[in-house]
Amino acid sequence: MALLTQMSTAISLAWYTQLPAGSIDNFDTLVRRFTAQYATSRPHHVTSVAWASLRQAEDEPLRAFMERFASISVKIQNLNPEVALHAMLMVLKPGPFVDSLCRRSPLDMDKLRARAAGYIHMEEHSAFRDQVHGKSQAKPDHGHKDKMKVTNDSQFKKVARATKGRRYDFYTPLNAL
C-alpha cells in the first residue's frame, strides 16, 4: 500500500510540475484542475444495475458464474439480500440448479451458496467422469439413436423381403458396449 501511495504522489507531483507558471492562483483553482485531471481515477459506486448485463453463458460452469456474481455483489453498497436472490434466479441458465431454486427458494444468500456448492460438486464430478471416459463435452444428439433404428429397421425389412425363405444374411449391428 505504501508503494501505491508513493507512486500516486510521484504521478501527481509530475503533473503539478508540468503546469504552466502562474496558472494556479489559489487553492480552489488547484482543486478544480486536480479534479479534472484525475476524475477518471475516482472510484465509482456499483449499484444493482451492474447485474443488468450479467448472464450465465451456456458453456459456463456454475462455479465460474457464482464467482463472477459474487465479485460484482460485494462491490454493491447496501445490497438488499432479497434483490440479490431474485437477481440470481434471473441470470442463471436454465437447468437442474434453477429448477431446484424455483421449487424451494432459499431463505438467504448463505443457503443459496450452500445449495450451489452441491450442484457445483455434481457438475465437476460429471465433467471429470466424462473426461476420464473420453467423452466429449458436447451435448449428445438425441435423435441419432432414433435415426439409426429407422435406418436399421428399413434395411432389415429390405433384406428380409429379398431373402424370403432363406436364412438370415443380415444382422442388426450392435452399438451398445
Question: Tens digit of pLDDT for each residue in 60-110?
Answer: 999 999 998 888 877 777 777 888 888 888 889 988 998 988 888 888 888
Q: Which tops the pLDDT comparison, 100 or 1?
A: 100
pTM flag (> 0.75): no
* Contacts (Cβ under 8 Å, ≥6 apart) of 163: 169, 170
What pLDDT, on a 0 to 100 scale, did the predictor assign at position 150? 47
Q: For residue 167, is it left (φ>0), alpha (ψ between -120 and 50) or beta?
A: beta
- Mean pLDDT over all residues of the chain? 75
In this prediction, what percent of the chain has a pLDDT beyond 70?
64
What would the DSSP string read from start to end of 106-149? -SSHHHHHHHHHHHHHHHHHHHHHHHHTT--SSPP-THHHHHHH
Q: Is the pLDDT at 147 greater than 50, yes or no?
A: no
pLDDT in tens, 29-66: 888 888 777 766 655 566 666 776 788 989 999 999 99
Q: Which residues pair with 76 in a beta bridge?
A: 46
Q: Is the pLDDT at 131 greater than 80, yes or no?
A: yes
Q: Where are the alpha helices (DSSP H) in the chain?
A: 2-18, 27-37, 62-73, 81-91, 96-103, 109-132, 143-162
pLDDT in tens, 156-168: 455 455 555 556 5
Q: Is the pLDDT at 137 greater than 50, yes or no?
A: no
Give the CA distances from residue 56 to residues 11, 91, 104, 109, 128, in Å, rounded to whole numbers and listed in that order: 40, 6, 21, 18, 21
What pLDDT, on a 0 to 100 scale, did the predictor assign at position 41? 62
What pLDDT, on a 0 to 100 scale, did the predictor assign at position 61? 92
Cα–Cα dist 154/84, whole Å: 56
What pLDDT, on a 0 to 100 scale, did the predictor assign at position 177? 55
